[in-house]
A and B are shown apart, each in its own frame.
Chain A
């Protein structure tokens, strides 16, 4: 988690992460605001704001009197959004650091291929 982000965004990102890794499958209920607040030791208003952000983006939807559920297609939407952000969020800093250390793009690509192969074997 990025400590510099507001807590409610951290809450939202954490839930998104769990939707992506399948912890919260589509059309299942996610924990309540209070449960998130207690778990993360944060003010329930902050937790609520995080959840509501996901309702606003259509990742979650509310069922009156029951709670919040993961929307159908949420995983696909989140994957798409994250894919879009991937370049900025991960590749650019990677290139930046590589440039600082004098690793040229070819070397970098080779390194990635090598690691990917190792990770694939494991």
Chain B
């Protein structure tokens, strides 16, 4: 359109006014506020690492133990596993509760919104996976943050394996983000009642699955005995994919914007 060529956008972004493709507009929408998906996760990692370092320094000052032993003990640190999951569930939920009505008011379809959001959240998961991998490298290079504090080089994240920590970072992000989208889409369509039913449904499915695995004598323990972290990550990714698919099924005919 001629108007686009003639008119510069708002001062801070000269390219901003170019219309994006049907999926790209949604992807860009999610990253329009760089704090939410880029800044906040980094600040969560920075804060959590800082807290761990402070705890380490306190332990060193007040606990009569060998610093090397303390450092080894920190390999059991689970902070990277839990620190950002809650935030990501809320990010996933907000994507449907608030961002979707906005996008649809501007003429996006449900299909476009779901697919664009899935791409954005997958990119986000890659970003977290890469970030954690980089942090692991920095941690190793700095002698565990100059204090022997294990934050990323920990058992739950693959004990220093770059592939494992990437897969775990990716898997946790994907699962939490898409679980957030799924619950929000259920809420959008069926309100709290629906969310409750889905929660009970999921519990029931897991119980059924556990019962089936036990009665069928599937050897779950040996499946996880080798490459446990990578295999757990794969399970997280599969569950994330199921949540994404679930969001679509729920959303396909959901009213939006009310």
Physical contact A–B (CB less than 8 Å): no
Residue ranges of A at the interface with B (Cβ–Cβ < 8 Å): none
Residue ranges of B at the interface with A (Cβ–Cβ < 8 Å): none
